[in-house]
């Protein structure tokens, strides 16, 4: 997966950005995290870290 991301950098960035925008919208509209102790973008940041780790992990190693 890592080699595919390196070859299609712009497309990969757009896909990850679209996924994170969807998660942010879900968090803001459905979960209403901005009214909780965690604050705004808590789940979005955790999900972003997860997606980044998933995209850049090297399963062959």
pLDDT at 59: 64
Tokens 């879900």, residue located: 26
* Rounded Cα distance, 32 and 39, in Å: 9
pLDDT at 40: 64
* Per-residue model confidence as pLDDT tens digits over 2-61: 566 667 788 888 888 888 888 878 877 777 766 766 666 677 778 888 888 887 776 655
The encoded tokens of residue 12 equal 């990969």
Rounded to two decimals, what is the model's pTM?
A: 0.56
pLDDT at 29: 79
pLDDT at 38: 65
pLDDT at 30: 79
Exposed / middle / buried, residue 59 (Cβ in 10 Å: 0-12, 13-18, 19+): exposed
């Amino acid at each position: 997966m890592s080699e595919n991301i390196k070859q299609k950098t712009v497309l990969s960035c757009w896909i990850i950005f679209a996924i994170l925008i969807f998660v942010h919208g879900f968090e803001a509209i459905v979960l209403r995290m901005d009214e909780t102790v965690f604050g705004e973008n808590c789940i979005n940041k955790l999900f972003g870290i997860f997606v980044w780790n998933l995209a850049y992990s090297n399963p062959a190693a």
